[in-house]
């Protein structure tokens, strides 16, 4: 298994450059540096190494998107010929590449034996009874709610501080998302959930923000008291304290996630009937193990028992997932080491609050390293801070623009700024710094040095309007 050091670049030149943007890089914003990277860089030796190195130079790496305008008092970036440090890069190495090629040549392009093995190994890893591999966490969340029978007129409680997929899936089923504000750790507050439960509540979706587990004890006690099922959005939480208390748990294997299959997800649960329903709905609603009809023991006959969806995972994705799972402990170790270094170097930086670690009995997955900035009194907005980082060759992002500030949810649910003050306060000062296993300790030092320089340069000035580019909307 490819061990993952924190002082090297184990993925070689497999560059996926993920831009910053609203909360996460969308599929459009996250691209391979070279469509043919898998072919052009395969092999060993000096020539392959040279090609890999060449391919890792994206326009961003060449400094093509340095758009920072500088801020009041900020002398601007020092001359710096270091390559652009993207906000996120997957840890894909030669072993993953070889496994995907093997799958490709095996004849099983779509759901097959590798998907089945990935489900089994993933279930073992998280300690779940059942695991169903799907095409994305969005698909998994949709299936989870559908399997629970969520439909028109129902309410689904979730946090406003999440990616839109968490709430969109409720809308797809005709239900209404109801937001409950966050607590001081960024996760949904059980007390706020309690205040939102009505006879129409049909599900609660806690999101383990950034990989920090929610207070599942309190949430499950509340849910059981009211007879409401719980679906964990564990898109960020592979590697966190294993889930299990909820009725269903959904993981994401999106390109930036701790374990990636490019696009992909997994639904886990304990109830065999619920697992069967998720599996059935995820593949057109056709009877059990539909893929087996193409095997020697399979039969041509099948029955459609529900109008299901087409949300299955392919064996190409599963090949990637199996290799990533084998490397996962090392990948997580690398993430934890980066977090420790960030914590150490940011200690004492006046305007920066470091992310919470949670209580001692939980394991944080550290999908994100979200700092909060206290910029009161400085002529610097959060948007300008991020632009200044970019001007210094560093990608950063924001997690998340709360959903009640998004036009669709404002209109659909009659929401506006002021409705969820804690999520708004979090958002207003939030900046997620790059943190992923391919980074080195000197990358972390570079990000912290840039952060210190920007904050130190942004000295209070009088008579100056704050710049429009720092307007984060909302
Ligand atoms: C909290 C959260 N939930 C759900 C999703 C959707 O995941 P996917 O891209 O696998 O559909 C994301 C994606 O980033 C997310 O951040």
* Three-state SS letters, the chain: CCCCCCCCCCCCCCCEEECCCECCCCHHHEEECCCCHHHHCCCCHHHHHHHHHHHCCCCCCCCCCCCCCCCCCCCCCCCCCCCCECCECCCCCHHHHHHHHHHHHHCCCCCCHHHHHHHHHHHHHHCCCEEEEECCHHHHHHHHHHHCCCCCCCEEEECCCCCCHHHHHHHHCCCEEEECCECCCCCECHHHHHHHCCCCEEEEECECHHHCCCCHHHHHHHHHHHCCCEEEEECCCCCCCCCCCCCEEEEECECCCCCCCECCEEEEECCHHHHHHHHHHHECCECCCHHHHHCCCCCCCCCECCCCCECECCHHHHHHHHHHHHHHHHHHHHHHHHHHHHHHHHCCCCCEECCCCCCCCCCCCCCCEEEEECCCCCCCCHHHHHHHHHHCCECCEECCCCHHHCHHHHHHHCCCCCCCHHHHHHHHHEEEECCCCCCCHHHHHHHHHHHHHHHHHCCCCCCCCCCHHHCCCC
Instruction: Report the atom number in ligand 1 closest to the C-alpha of 254.
Output: 10
Expressed in angstroms and rounded, the spacing between residue 464 Cα and the centre of ligand 1 is 40
Looking only at Cα atoms, what is the longest distance across the chain? 79
- Ligand 1 pocket, CB under 6 A: 24, 136-138, 162-163, 165-166, 207, 233, 235-236, 252, 254, 265
Give the residue whose CA is nearest to atom 7 of ligand 1.
137
The two structure tokens encoding residue 31: 């691209």
pLDDT of amino acid 1: 30
Expressed in angstroms and rounded, the spacing between residue 415 Cα and the centre of ligand 1 is 23
Q: Is residue 251 part of a domain?
A: yes
257 in catalytic set: yes
pLDDT of amino acid 95: 97
Instruction: Report the atom number in ligand 1 closest to the C-alpha of 264.
Output: 10
Cα separation, 213 vs 367, whole angstroms:
11
Residue in 21, 22, 137 to alter for ligand 1 test, most ligand atoms within 8 A of Cβ: 137
CATH number of the CATH domain containing 211: 3.40.640.10
Catalytic residue among 116, 257, 288, 310: 257
Cα separation, 387 vs 307, whole angstroms:
47
Of 126, 56, 114, 86, nearest in space to 268 by CA: 126
Residue 116 CB contacts under 8 Å (≥ 6 apart), including other chains: none
pLDDT of amino acid 460: 61
Residue 324 CB contacts under 8 Å (≥ 6 apart), including other chains: 91, 96, 253, 259, 260, 261, 331
Instruction: Report the atom number in ligand 1 closest to the C-alpha of 209.
Output: 1
Strand 265-269 to strand 130-134: parallel, antiparallel, or no bridges (unpaired)? antiparallel
Q: Is residue 201 part of a domain?
A: yes
Cα separation, 228 vs 197, whole angstroms:
9
pLDDT of amino acid 379: 87
CA gyration radius, the chain: 23
The two structure tokens encoding residue 341: 């270094």
pLDDT per residue as tens, the chain (474 positions): 333 322 233 332 233 333 333 333 333 333 333 222 222 333 334 433 333 333 332 323 333 333 333 444 455 565 568 899 999 999 999 999 999 999 999 999 999 999 999 999 999 999 999 999 999 999 999 999 999 999 999 999 999 999 999 999 999 999 999 999 999 999 999 999 999 999 999 999 999 999 999 999 999 999 999 999 999 999 999 999 866 679 999 999 999 999 999 999 999 999 999 999 999 999 999 976 655 666 666 778 889 999 999 999 999 999 999 999 999 999 999 999 999 999 999 999 999 999 999 999 999 999 999 999 999 888 899 999 999 999 999 999 999 999 999 999 999 999 999 999 999 999 999 999 999 999 999 999 999 999 999 999 876 644 333 333 333 433
pLDDT of amino acid 24: 39
Residue in 134, 165, 169, 401 to alter for ligand 1 test, most ligand atoms within 8 A of Cβ: 165
Expressed in angstroms and rounded, the spacing between residue 250 Cα and the centre of ligand 1 is 9
CA 255 to chain centre: 8
Expressed in angstroms and rounded, the spacing between residue 463 Cα and the centre of ligand 1 is 43
Instruction: Report the atom number in ligand 1 closest to the C-alpha of 140.
Output: 11
Q: Is residue 124 part of a domain?
A: yes
Residue in 18, 240, 254 to alter for ligand 1 test, most ligand atoms within 8 A of Cβ: 254
Q: Is residue 287 part of a domain?
A: yes
Q: Is residue 222 part of a domain?
A: yes
Q: Is residue 473 part of a domain?
A: no
Instruction: Report the atom number in ligand 1 closest to the C-alpha of 256.
Output: 14
Expressed in angstroms and rounded, the spacing between residue 101 Cα and the centre of ligand 1 is 27
Q: Is residue 460 part of a domain?
A: no
Q: Is residue 240 part of a domain?
A: yes
Asked if residue 383 lies in contact with residue 469, where contact means CB atoms within 8 angstroms, the answer is yes
Domain encompassing residue 297: 95-321
Count Cβ neighbours within 10 Å for each residue of 97-126 and write b for 16 or more, e otherwise: bebbeebeeeebeebbebbbbbbeebbebb
Count of structural domains, the chain: 1
Expressed in angstroms and rounded, the spacing between residue 21 Cα and the centre of ligand 1 is 15
């Amino acid at each position: 298994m490819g061990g993952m050091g924190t002082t090297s670049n184990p993925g070689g030149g497999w560059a996926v450059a993920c831009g910053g943007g609203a909360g996460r890089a969308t599929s459009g914003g996250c691209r391979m540096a070279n469509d043919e990277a898998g072919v052009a860089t395969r092999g060993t030796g000096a020539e392959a190494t040279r090609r890999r190195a060449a391919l890792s130079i994206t326009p961003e790496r060449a400094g093509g998107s340095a758009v920072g305008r500088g801020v009041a008092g900020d002398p601007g970036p020092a001359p710096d010929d270091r390559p652009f440090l993207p906000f996120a890069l997957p840890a894909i190495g030669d072993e993953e590449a070889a496994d995907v090629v093997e799958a490709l040549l095996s004849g099983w392009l779509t759901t097959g034996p590798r998907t089945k093995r990935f489900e089994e190994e993933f279930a073992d890893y998280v300690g779940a009874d059942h695991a169903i591999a799907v095409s994305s966490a969005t698909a998994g969340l949709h299936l989870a709610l559908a399997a629970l029978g969520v439909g028109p007129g129902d309410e689904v409680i979730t946090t406003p501080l999440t990616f839109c997929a968490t709430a969109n899936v409720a809308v797809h089923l005709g239900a209404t998302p109801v937001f409950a504000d966050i607590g001081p750790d960024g996760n949904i507050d059980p007390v706020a959930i309690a205040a939102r439960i009505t006879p129409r509540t049909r599900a609660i979706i806690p999101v383990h923000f950034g990989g920090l587990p929610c207070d599942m004890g309190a949430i499950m006690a509340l849910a059981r008291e009211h007879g409401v099922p719980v679906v964990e959005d564990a898109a960020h939480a592979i590697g966190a304290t294993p889930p299990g208390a909820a009725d269903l748990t959904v993981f994401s294997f999106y390109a930036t996630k701790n374990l990636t299959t490019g696009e992909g997800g997994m639904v886990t649960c304990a109830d065999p009937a619920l697992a069967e329903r998720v599996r059935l709905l995820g593949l057109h609603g056709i009877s059990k193990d539909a893929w087996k009809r193409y095997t020697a023991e399979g039969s041509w006959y099948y029955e459609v028992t529900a109008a299901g969806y087409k949300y299955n995972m392919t064996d190409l994705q599963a090949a990637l997932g199996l290799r990533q799972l084998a490397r996962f402990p090392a990948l997580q170790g690398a993430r934890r080491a980066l977090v420790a270094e960030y914590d150490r170097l940011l200690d004492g930086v006046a305007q920066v609050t470091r992310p919470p670690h949670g209580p001692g009995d939980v394991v944080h997955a550290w999908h994100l390293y979200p700092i909060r900035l206290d910029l009161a009194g400085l002529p610097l907005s959060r948007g300008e801070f991020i632009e200044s980082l970019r001007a210094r060759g560093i990608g950063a992002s924001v997690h998340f623009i709360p959903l009640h500030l998004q036009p669709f949810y404002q209109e659909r649910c009659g929401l506006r700024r002021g409705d969820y003050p804690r999520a708004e306060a979090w958002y207003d000062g939030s900046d997620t710094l790059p943190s992923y296993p391919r980074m080195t300790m000197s990358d972390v030092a570079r990000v912290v040095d840039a952060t210190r320089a920007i904050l130190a340069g942004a000295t209070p000035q009088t008579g100056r309007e704050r710049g429009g580019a720092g307007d984060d909307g909302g």
